């Protein structure tokens, strides 16, 4: 009996294969998640356009254009094909597009952890305007720049479903993880607003205009895509899996001898100095002491000269 693809042990046969598997190993600081864009059994033209635009604004991603009939992640066994594709392309997050009479224009976002499905969120596209409708504004944004993401709405803090959507959109659209950002390269903003059962996603191009002072006047011009998403089914990770995914590796540091830490002084060190003999140690001699020694030596030599004459 053959093992499922997700649990099969893969042994590299070449040096390049060894390097690829080493890069996919768990790390203390994970890199940005690579996105997978894939179609289900039936898709509409709207969903195809949405996947195409999301793939364009995502800096790193893999897009499949063929239909896949066995991708139903909310059903038992329907996530095997998704896990296989995600593990093959080393993708940590995916966007699945599908269309049916019961769930029209469905967009499902999900994440992969440890080669298995982690969580899911399904949304239905109510209204859509693509990048081609804002060609003039979209052409002013340079590809590869990090966006400024803004989430507006109390639901992103109170509703579990909205919090899940916020987390997934951050992983999907935030781009590469960097330590510093050049403000001159901040040329577009992604705005996500929350309603009761709807999420509104808009993207704007940043324009800096003259204001009569050193600080320019900032204006926003919509550049697409514009999505109105109605929230549907969602599946959060279990407590055990959530705890395992958020577990951090404690770095093993070598203990330093004679070093301790305190709340007030911070890092404190203890230094051991060998005992010093002050009688034999070479100390700095003052100029005044040198004159006294010379005078004492001259007086001693003068007292010795008469005694020699008396002997003679």
- pLDDT tens digits for range 48-78: 999 999 998 887 789 998 888 888 999 888 8
Q: What is the pTM assigned to this prediction?
A: 0.71
270 to 253, 273, 276, 277: CA distances (angstroms) = 19, 10, 18, 22
- Structural domains of the chain in order of their starting residue, each with its CATH number: 31-235 (3.40.50.10480)
Beta-carbon contacts of residue 260 (< 8 Å; ≥ 6 apart): 267, 268, 269, 270
- Rounded Cα distance, 160 and 177, in Å: 25
Buried b / exposed e along 31-62 (16+ C-beta atoms within 10 A): ebbbbbbbbbeebbebbebbbbbbeebbbebb
pLDDT for residue 310: 54
Whether 90 contacts 79, CB under 8 Å? no
What residue spans of 44-130 are helical by DSSP H?
Answer: 45-57, 80-89
pLDDT for residue 250: 72
C-alpha dihedral over 216, 218, 224, 225, to 10 degrees? 120
Beta-carbon contacts of residue 20 (< 8 Å; ≥ 6 apart): 12
Pairing of strands 148-152, 188-194: parallel
Low-confidence stretches of the chain (pLDDT beneath 50): 1-2, 5-6
What is the DSSP track for 233-296? EEEPPPHHHHHHHT--PPP--PPPTTEEEETTTEEEE--------TTTS-PPPPHHHHHHHHHH
Q: Which residue has the tokens 């109510």?
A: 126
- Rounded Cα distance, 144 and 147, in Å: 9
Whether 138 contacts 131, CB under 8 Å? yes
pLDDT for residue 198: 93
pLDDT for residue 6: 46
């Amino acid at each position: 009996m053959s093992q499922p693809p997700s649990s099969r042990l893969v042994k590299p046969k070449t040096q390049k294969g060894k390097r690829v598997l080493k890069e996919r190993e768990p790390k203390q600081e994970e890199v940005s998640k690579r996105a997978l864009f894939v179609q289900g059994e039936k898709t509409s033209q709207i969903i195809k356009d949405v996947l195409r635009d999301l793939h364009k604004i995502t800096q790193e991603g893999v897009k499949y254009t063929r239909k896949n009939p066995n991708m139903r992640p909310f059903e038992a066994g329907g996530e095997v094909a998704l896990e296989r594709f995600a593990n093959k392309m080393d993708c940590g997050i995916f966007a699945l597009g599908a269309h049916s009479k019961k769930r029209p224009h469905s967009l499902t976002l999900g994440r992969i952890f440890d080669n298995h499905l982690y969580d899911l969120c399904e949304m239905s596209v109510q209204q859509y305007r693509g990048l081609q409708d804002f060609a003039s504004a979209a052409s002013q944004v340079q590809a590869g720049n990090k966006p400024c993401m803004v989430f507006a709405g109390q639901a992103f803090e109170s509703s579990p479903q909205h919090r899940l959507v916020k987390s997934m959109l951050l992983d999907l659209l935030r781009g590469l993880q960097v330590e510093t950002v050049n403000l001159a390269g901040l040329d577009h903003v992604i705005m996500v607003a929350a309603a009761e059962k709807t999420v509104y996603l808009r993207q704007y191009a940043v324009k800096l205009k003259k204001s009569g002072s050193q600080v320019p006047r900032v204006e926003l011009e919509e550049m697409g895509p514009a999505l109105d998403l109605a929230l549907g089914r969602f599946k959060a990770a279990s407590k055990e899996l959530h705890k395992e995914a958020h577990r951090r590796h404690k770095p093993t540091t070598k203990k330093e001898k004679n070093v301790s830490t305190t709340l007030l002084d911070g890092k404190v060190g203890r230094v051991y100095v060998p005992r010093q003999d002050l009688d034999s140690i070479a100390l700095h001699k003052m100029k005044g002491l040198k004159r006294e020694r010379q005078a004492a030596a001259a007086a001693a030599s003068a007292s010795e000269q008469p005694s020699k004459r008396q002997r003679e």
